[in-house]
Amino acid sequence: MSDQFKALILNQEGENFSREVKSIDKSFLKHGDVTVKVDYSDLNFKDGMILKNGGRLVKEFPHIPGIDFSGKVIESENSKFKEGDEVILTGFRVGEIFFGGYSQIAKVNADFLVKKPDSLTTKEAMILGTAGFTSLMSAFAIQARESILLGEKVNDVLVTGATGGVGSVAIMALTKMGYNVSAVTGKDSKSDYLKSLGAKNIINRAEFDKDPRPIDKGLWDGVVDTVGGKILANAIAQTKSNGIISVCGNANSNELNTNLLPFMLRGIKVWGMDSANCSIKRRGFIWGEAKNLIDFDLLEKSVLTVSLEELIETYPKILKGEISGRVLVDLNK
């Protein structure tokens, strides 16, 4: 690769916000002690917000967005990594306050990187990305009910926002764990797709997007919620005794109008998934387990692969809920 490389640059001057793919060199990169040749990045909902207008997350311009990437170390000033190491980065506010992965070359803090397990390719890592990583965190949270309660079996699990990047991977992982997954979606046309991922039942979101009862019939041993609001409130009301609810998204609403009865009478547990600040040790475990839980051949059928230039045209769709599955950004396309 020449000294020049491509990056997607955000800029803001007054009220004028711009996004453009430009040629830059390494002198533009101002953070970190490990330099990585990026193979792949991806598009998450947070990326969409940042690409639209900074999402109130970016404080300084010009800026390189992209909260995830995978690739190979080409220079390292830190003993944790050496040239040739293949690495994964998700979270740690990279792409927000630090330059991110929408660049053919990235420079980041070594403490933000995880060595890629041999079982995964760099492409597979970004087919998952933050969304898939959060899904796996959620699946292990549901599974933890069996160890926390000394073997009390999980059977029925609900996944909301099922066609999105988090929901779709969660269905696959939870099914692989042996659970009966019901998927909530507002897209009737995607029923066959959700069943192909492993969902046993498809529920129209209208059944959940309404004012909840204080407590309802217990249906779910576990819930993976990606949307918040009334849908989450209804899921809480329907969770069985000692059920675990993984809260990992707010695509519908930040608000939650619930009450104490499900917690007091059923002992349910709400577990927030902070994938951005997850420990490196936990990250290593989850990435190491990914290949055991995900059928990448199947998942890749629902992946849209775009270039940096095409990403500028694609990102509004994720904000409108028009993306099913994952968007992979190929930095060499």
What does the pLDDT look like over 16-44, one tens digit per residue? 999 999 999 999 998 899 999 999 999 99
Phi, psi of 324 (to 5 degrees): -110, 135
Tens of pLDDT, residue by residue over 89-132, are 999 999 999 999 999 999 999 999 999 999 999 999 999 999 99
pLDDT digit string (tens) for 272-331?
Answer: 999 988 999 999 999 999 999 999 999 998 899 999 999 999 999 999 988 888 999 999
Beta strands 86-90; 156-159: pairing state: unpaired
143 and 39, same domain (yes or no) = no
**178 within domain boundaries:** yes
Domain membership of residue 271 as a residue range: 131-275
Q: What is the pLDDT of residue 145?
A: 87
The verdict on 138 and 223 lying in the same domain is yes
Residue 319 lies in a domain: yes
Cβ-count burial of 178 within 10 angstroms (0-12 exposed, 13-18 middle, 19+ buried)?
A: exposed
Spatial separation of the C-alpha atoms in residues 167 and 227, rounded to whole Å: 10
Shared-domain flag, residues 74 and 101: yes
* H helix or E strand, kind and range, residue 223: strand 220-225
CA 249 – CA 236 distance, rounded (Å): 15
Distance CA 294, CA 172 (A): 6
H or E element, residue 6: strand 5-13
Q: Are residues 71 and 176 in the same domain?
A: no
User: Residue 211 is which amino acid?
Assistant: D
pLDDT at 324 (0 to 100): 81
Q: pTM (2 decimals)?
A: 0.92
Q: Is the pLDDT of residue 218 over 90?
A: yes
Same domain, 316 and 258: no
| Number of structural domains found in the chain | 2
Residue 316 sits in the same domain as residue 212: no
DSSP string for residues in 192-211: HHHHHHT-SEEEEGGGTSSP
Whether residues 155 and 219 share a domain: the answer is yes
**Is 35 part of any domain?**
yes
CATH number at residue 206: 3.40.50.720
